Amino acid sequence: MSPDDATDAVAGGAREPVVVDARGLRCPVPVIRLAAAARERGTGDLLTVWSTDPAARLDVPAWARMRGHRVVDEHEVAEGHEVAQERDVPQEREPAAAPSVWAITVELGR
C-alpha cells in the first residue's frame, strides 16, 4: 500500500485524512507537526502522520490519548512507495535499506 492508498483505507474511505509528512524527522518533531496540524482541524477530522522514527509508533498514540483523540489505523507503508532520494552509490557497495515508513491515523476528538 502506498502512502496515497493509506488515505483511502481509513474509515472505509468515507473521509480522507490530512497527511502530515514527518519522514526523516526524529522525536519529538513528528508529534509536534501532528499537534500543529490538529490545531487547524475540527472534531472528527482525520490526520495521518507518516514517520520513519520508530518512537512515533509510541509517541503518537500517547499524544492522542492525552488530547482526547483516538488512533484509528496504523500500518507500515509498503517498501518501494517511499519518496526516493537519488544519490551516487559506489558499485562495490549496496545501498543501505530505506527505513520503514509508518502511517498512523488519528481521529480528532474534542
71-81 pLDDT tens trace: 999 999 976 55
Q: What is the mean pLDDT of residues 94-101?
A: 75
Q: Using the predicted structure, report yes or no on whether residue 94 has a pLDDT greater than 90.
A: no
Please, are residues 35 and 63 in contact by the beta-carbon 8 Å criterion?
yes
24: CB partners within 8 A, 6+ apart: 52
Q: How is the chain split into domains, by residue range?
A: 3-7+15-82+100-107
Where in the sequence numbering do the catalytic residues fall? 27
pLDDT digits 0-9 by tens, 35-74:
999 999 999 999 999 999 999 999 999 999 999 999 999 9
Nearest CA-CA partner of 107 in 56, 73, 58, 62 = 73
Strand partners, 44: none
Residue closest to 16 by CA, chosen among 101, 107, 109: 107
In words, the CATH class of domain 3-7+15-82+100-107 is alpha beta
Find the mean pLDDT for residues 15-38. Answer: 96
